[in-house]
Structure 1
Amino acid sequence: MTPSILAVLQRPLLKKISEWPSNSPDLNLIENLWAIIKSKVEKRMPKNLDDLENFMIEEWENIPENALINFSSSMRRRCELIIENNGERIPY
């Protein structure tokens, strides 16, 4: 294909892609994990950067395996909800 034909064919595809958000917090499971860690670390009230780092590592290592399984298991439903909501935010 010539570059000009390829450019014409790509226009609808590029428009569709450009309408898609660059990222979706609803599909970014790490945000859920960071929220859990942040909450637990704040409760421990770190007094300095060393405390903060140590508490973050400890809380990361203490995330229950079932929480990780639940987060990953929710992905299909999250995707379905985003599709149903035409790409808008969902309650996750």
Structure 2
Amino acid sequence: MYQISIKENLRRIFVTNKYTKTLRPLFGLDTHIDKRGDLYNLLALKNDILQQIQMHEPRIKPTQITFTQDEQGVNLTIAYNADNAISFLKINI
């Protein structure tokens, strides 16, 4: 059976909006575009990310999620434990 990498699956989760995949409507993040970057919305985004990882990428355990902002938008960095090794993924969302 074909299995995609953890990083590729995380990228797919983070760039897919919920309800856009017909056969997997709960796959992906809620629409957080055009929302202010205040603490409430970032906490909602973090909870959404944790829920998606729990549902769609059970091979990992997230240890830290950080958000930074630059001229290109919001960057998400996630540290996670997989196979007793800490890995990092940084993506612009």
Which has the larger helix fraction?
A: 1
| Larger gyration radius, structure 1 or structure 2 | 1
What TM-score, normalized by structure 1, do the two folds share? Answer: 0.32
Q: Which protein, 1 or 2, shows the higher relative CO under an 8 Å CA cutoff with sep ≥ 6?
A: 1
TM-score by length of 2: 0.32
